[in-house]
């Protein structure tokens, strides 16, 4: 039994010995396969790492290239900035040129030229009679020229003129630390030779030549003005913007004459003007209509005006005191022109008047405003409405000068529509009352009333060009002993175009 058991054990050992090498070989093969797999995976990872490394190197190279380019641009910008700074420094180090004054110099005087070129084309309808060619009533609105012929036929006219063209010089001279200023202004409208001929410069048939006429010429030294200017009694800023030469003539004070004026600022907003001005009496003889400039005045006209100014506008109060004087031979007026050497009796009357006027701005840009003037007095006829009424009437029956009372008013509105377009609306009126001692036949033919209204549209395509279209209606009333009402009237209707170039 024991022997059998040993034999079985020996057989198992032998079988185990035979099987052991095969098992060992199988384990070795399995490990090799695992190692190969791990090696392949490692190689794949190495390849991936190499690719990532290559990509990182490429990205780094691009970044370096961009950095180099940025550095290059920065260096260029720095260089450009330094160059610009050098140029700025060079400019700043240059001496600043002195500002060039307007105009030109002649010695110590600066001279500036200004003015405007103006064309006016008008079509006018007069209701009761005609107006002669080459007269002022054809050139601009002058109420005393409106025909009042009873039963007269209507008359129409078409006129073109450039007479209102204006030239002026501004003068400024420095003398011993003081400034002397001068002003000279001319146009072709106010020439004394209203009816032009070929000998006088050319008619409308040929060359339309007109004489240059003086408007204003004065010098200012300190607070004094010496020369010819608007009367101190007039507030020129109230004149409306119009295609017409004046615009509402009957309602405004309108006089240019030689004067001496003293101007004194009383405060920041208040200015006083005192003047002594050229006297001239405008007289008519009862029963006649011709106005006589006596030329025998012996006292200047005294004027005063005070102006209150603020940002929104200004108000003017003016006064006039004068002596109206004429000479008579106890039955007729005489003067040193028509009766040279005649010795007559001096006749006088007192002229006294007041005027309130102003301009009120409607907006902050001052492109829209209201302008107005109201005037009243006796013996002030030549100052108002371009001498629409006389200063006084000589009455041969009493050998005296009788008073004429005058009231006049003007109002105008300037309304800006756009920066280049504006509308002006205006109305004016004058009423003259003669002494009750004069009969209707003694004042027949003399002006009693006038009024007008107008509206226009102005367009300025550029700064220096103004184009305007205006319609105006005006009426004149005169005393007329032949009329049942004691008056005769005439009307004017005018459409007018104006083109102006200012320089």
Residue 168 and residue 114 in contact, taking contact as beta carbons nearer than 8 Å? yes
Residues with Cβ within 8 Å of 340's Cβ and at least 6 positions away in sequence, in order, are none
Q: Which two tokens stand for residue 383?
A: 């100052």
DSSP 137: H
pLDDT for residue 199? 46
CATH of region 104-502: 2.40.160.10
Q: Dump the DSSP string for 306-326.
A: EEEEETTEEEEEEEEEEEEEE
- The residues, ordered by sequence, that sit 6+ positions from 189 with a Cβ below 8 Å of its Cβ are 139, 140, 163, 164, 213, 245
Which residues of the chain are modeled with pLDDT < 70? 1-29, 74, 78, 88-92, 94-101, 192-202, 330, 335-344
92 burial via Cβ count (<10 Å: 0-12, 13-18, 19+) = exposed
In the DSSP assignment, the letter for residue 127 is S
Residue-wise pLDDT for 329-378, tens only, equals: 867 787 654 444 455 678 999 999 999 999 999 999 999 999 999 999 99
pLDDT, tens only, 12-46: 445 444 444 444 445 566 777 787 777 788 878 78
pLDDT, position 329: 81
In angstroms, the CA 361 to CA 357 distance is 14
Q: Is the separation of the CB atoms in 415 and 368 below 8 Å?
A: yes
Give residue 162's pLDDT. 97
Collect all residues with Cβ–Cβ distance below 8 Å to 152 and sequence separation of at least 6: 127, 128, 129, 490
Domain parsing of the chain, residue ranges: 33-92, 104-502
**Residue 92 has what pLDDT?**
65
Q: What is the DSSP letter of 97?
A: P
Sequence-distant (≥ 6) Cβ neighbours of residue 271 within 8 angstroms: 263, 264, 265, 306, 307, 309
């Amino acid at each position: 039994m024991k022997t059998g058991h040993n034999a079985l054990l020996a057989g198992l050992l032998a079988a185990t010995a035979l099987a052991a090498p095969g098992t060992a070989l199988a384990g070795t093969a399995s490990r090799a396969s695992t190692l190969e797999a791990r090696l392949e995976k490692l190689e794949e990872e190495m390849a991936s790492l190499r690719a990532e490394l290559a990509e990182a190197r490429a990205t780094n190279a691009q970044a370096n290239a961009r950095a180099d380019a940025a550095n290059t641009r920065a260096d260029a910008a720095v260089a450009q900035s330094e160059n610009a700074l050098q140029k700025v420094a060079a400019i700043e180090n240059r001496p600043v040129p002195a500002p060039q004054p307007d105009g030109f110099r002649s010695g110590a005087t600066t001279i500036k030229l200004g003015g405007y070129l103006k064309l006016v084309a008008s079509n006018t309808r007069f209701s009761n009679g005609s107006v002669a060619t080459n007269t002022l009533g054809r050139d601009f609105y002058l109420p005393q020229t409106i025909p009042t012929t009873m039963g007269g036929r209507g008359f129409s006219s078409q006129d073109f003129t450039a007479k209102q063209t204006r030239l002026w010089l501004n003068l400024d001279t420095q003398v011993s630390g003081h400034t002397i200023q001068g002003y000279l202004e001319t146009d072709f409208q106010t020439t004394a030779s209203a009816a032009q001929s070929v000998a006088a410069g050319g008619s409308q048939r040929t060359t339309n030549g007109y004489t240059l006429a003086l408007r204003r010429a004065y010098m200012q030294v300190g607070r004094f003005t010496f020369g010819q200017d608007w009367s101190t009694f007039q507030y020129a800023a109230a004149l409306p913007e119009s295609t017409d030469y004046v615009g509402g003539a009957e309602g405004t004070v309108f006089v240019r004459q030689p004067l001496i004026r003293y101007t004194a600022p009383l405060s920041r907003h208040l200015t006083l003007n005192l003047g002594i001005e050229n006297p001239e009496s405008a007289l008519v003889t009862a029963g006649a209509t011709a106005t006589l400039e006596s030329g025998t005045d012996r006292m200047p006209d005294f004027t005063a005006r005070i102006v209150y100014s603020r940002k929104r506008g200004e108000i003017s109060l003016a006064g006039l005191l004068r002596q109206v004087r004429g000479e008579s031979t106890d039955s007729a007026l005489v003067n040193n022109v028509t009766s040279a050497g005649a010795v007559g009796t001096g006749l006088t009357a007192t002229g006294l008047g007041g005027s309130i006027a102003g301009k009120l701005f409607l907006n902050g840009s001052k492109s829209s405003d209201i302008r107005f003037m109201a005037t009243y007095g006796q013996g002030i006829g030549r100052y108002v409405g371009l001498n629409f009424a006389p200063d006084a009437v000589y009455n041969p029956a009493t050998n005296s000068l009788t008073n004429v009372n005058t009231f006049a008013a003007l109002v105008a509105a300037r309304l800006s529509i756009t920066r280049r377009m504006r509308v002006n609306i205006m109305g004016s009126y004058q009423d003259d009352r003669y002494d009750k001692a004069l009969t209707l036949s003694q004042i027949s033919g003399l002006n009693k009333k006038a009024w007008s209204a107008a509206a226009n549209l102005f367009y300025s395509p550029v700064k220096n060009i103004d184009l305007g279209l205006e319609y105006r209606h005006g009426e004149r009333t005169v005393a007329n002993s032949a009329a049942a009402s004691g008056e005769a009237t005439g009307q004017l209707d005018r459409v007018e175009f104006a083109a102006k170039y200012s320089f």
